[in-house]
Amino acid sequence: MKKIIITILLLALAAGLAYAQGKDIKQITLPNIQTELAPGAGKDKVETLCNICHSVDYITMQPSGTKAQWTATVTKMKKVFGAPINDADSEVISSYLAEHYGTAK
Amino acid sequence: MDEYRLSRRSLLKGVGAMAALAATGGIPADLFASERMARFPEKADLQLLTARPPQLETPLHYFKELITPNEAVFVRWHISQIPTSVDLSSWRLKVGGNTDKELSLSMDDLKKFEKVVYTAVIQCSGNGRSFFEPKVFGGQWKNGSMGNVTWAGARLKDILNNAGIKAGSVDVSFDGLDRPPLASVPDLVKSLPVDKALEDDIIVAYEMNGQSLPMLNGFPARLIVPGWYATYWVKSLSEITVLAKPFDGFWVKTAYRIPDTPYGCVEPGAAPKKTIPINRMTTRSLIIEPAIGTTLKSDMPVNVTGLAFSGGYSIKDVIVSVDGGKNWGEARLGKDMGRYSWIQWSYPWKPERPGKYILMAKATNSIGESQPFEGLWNPAGYLWNKVEKTEVTVRQEGP
């Protein structure tokens, strides 16, 4: 019980301090949520390159795509958004995506 | 659970809503779903689409309420460097470009303009995208990238007139505090034609349901373009620029476009010949209770309840079918919160025989816009407003 009361007092103090330091400041900390990709050739490239701009749940969320659809998506990431992916890596990534998150086995 | 229900019931009564908890006897379908849930700062447990940048969907049970609470409103950011800290003592909303003078408005300055308050549906352009057939890439939203919120803020028109729009202005662009992860990624900047920007109802909102905005919903202020899709409702607004030339940024010129055809649709799989920027929302309705997959008892009266809204025109009527669309009856509409709000509706039903039933609802607005029975298709998965089918099972009432 004592412990609980002390904890409550400390929390109240901390809250008060935060308020005193600046009621005009709002600050949040985003959670670190990771999504595990299917094992396979190319996974490391996807994790390294796609992750520069977005979490890989952008991949796992998508409907099953054809190889052509995934290739078009990787091309869009390069041409439209400037993703630093060379041609060899593009092929590796598109194949990986089509195999594990697509229709093209 | 009982306590929860009790408080929910009294709350419903409090906002004058319908008796949404009538004996539907089921657990909401979204409780069964296998979605990943995530709790972000200032937000409730929401369905996780993506973590970075965050895209979070509202579970359907929140839509039993007329107003969606701030912590439940969906989250959708485009580029990953999103604001996580804002100090109001240094935050300023800059207004300039083709104007007589430049403004640098603090929050106190913003609050000196006349305060405008109304309730409006906020809805992502891609709400319902996961229902498209053939499927399209993009955020796989179900029906939860929408909410009904009471906004308060300063009229954009008043701010623009304070700066003084020069003759020959064409567009007004809006930038927020979010920044691209690479220099090559286009910053999220949106624009409106100057005539649209000067409409009375567009505001720079600093309150959501009477409180400051959650960071993830655009603290400290966001643009509200009621009746239009939320792609224009730029979050954490920092800069408004009046332009003498048409805006040519990526997020208007290339992205968020719909086919320039009636209903904004093309043959499934086809590429549109010409596109225009997405704009007003289509008319929609949704059955909230009973939820999909609910089991009901025969001869037990239930209230089929839901919501309906359109892109800035009042809902004229909602018709409901409990037999898969063969017969229709008119639902009773709830409290009218204005043309930008959704309206709740209810339809009393007593299923007499056991079996499977398909419930459907179809809304029509005051200018005759309604909903299609088949999904209309466009390549980006926007404008979804098909008449949905809610299948429920009726069992013989036991002893």
**pLDDT for residue B13 is more than 80:** no
How far from B84 is each of A31, B53, B107, B145, B179, CA to CA, in Å?
12, 12, 18, 21, 12
Element (H, E) at B37: strand B37-39
Nearest CA-CA distance, residue B52 and chain A, Å:
5
Residue A64 near residue A100 (C-beta atoms within 8 A): no
A97: helix, coil or strand? helix
Cβ-Cβ contacts under 8 Å, B220 against chain A: 26
Pick from B52, B85, B130: CB nearest A55: B52
Contact flag A52-B181 (C-beta cutoff 8 Å): yes
| B87 CB within 8 Å of a chain A CB | yes
Chain A residue nearest residue B79, CA to CA: A53
What digits encode the pLDDT tens for the residues B163-202?
999 999 999 999 999 999 999 999 999 999 999 999 999 9
Burial class (CB in 10 A: 0-12, 13-18, 19+), B245: exposed
What digits encode the pLDDT tens for the residues B264-289?
999 999 999 999 999 999 999 999 99
Dist. CA B164–CA B171, nearest whole Å: 14
**pLDDT for residue A30 is more than 60:** yes
Contacts of A46 by beta carbon, 8 Å cutoff, 6+ apart? A37, A56, A59, A93, A96, A97
pLDDT for res A23: 73
How far from B375 is each of B179, B185, B342, B361, B387, CA to CA, in Å?
35, 32, 21, 14, 8
Contact flag B87-A63 (C-beta cutoff 8 Å): no
Tell me what percent of the residues of chain B surpass a pLDDT of 70: 91
Dist. CA A61–CA B27, nearest whole Å: 26
Pick from B49, B185, B216: CB nearest A53: B185
Dist. CA B368–CA B171, nearest whole Å: 30
Cβ-Cβ contacts under 8 Å, A29 against chain B: 41, 84
Nearest CA-CA distance, residue B107 and chain A, Å:
10
Residue B126 near residue B142 (C-beta atoms within 8 A): no
**pLDDT for residue A11 is more than 80:** no
| B215 CB within 8 Å of a chain A CB | yes
Contact flag B50-A73 (C-beta cutoff 8 Å): no
Nearest CA-CA distance, residue B231 and chain A, Å:
19
- Residue with token string 């319908």: B18
**pLDDT for residue B14 is more than 80:** no
pLDDT for res B397: 78
Cβ-Cβ contacts under 8 Å, B216 against chain A: 28
Dist. CA B190–CA B257, nearest whole Å: 12
Nearest to A22 by CA among B330, B87, B133: B87
pLDDT for res B133: 95
Tell me what percent of the residues of chain B surpass a pLDDT of 90: 90
What digits encode the pLDDT tens for the residues B79-88?
999 999 999 9
Interface confidence, given as ipTM, is: 0.87
Cβ-Cβ contacts under 8 Å, A63 against chain B: 130, 135-137, 140
Pick from B87, B135, B139: CB nearest A25: B87
Chain A residue nearest residue B130, CA to CA: A63
Nearest CA-CA distance, residue A12 and chain B, Å:
19
Dist. CA B207–CA B153, nearest whole Å: 7
Q: Indicate the pTM of the whole model.
A: 0.89
A76: helix, coil or strand? helix
Contacts of B324 by beta carbon, 8 Å cutoff, 6+ apart? B357, B358, B360, B389
Nearest CA-CA distance, residue B46 and chain A, Å:
13
What digits encode the pLDDT tens for the residues A45-88?
999 999 999 999 999 999 999 999 999 999 999 999 999 999 99
What digits encode the pLDDT tens for the residues B92-123?
999 999 999 999 999 999 999 999 999 999 99
Average pLDDT of every residue of chain B = 92
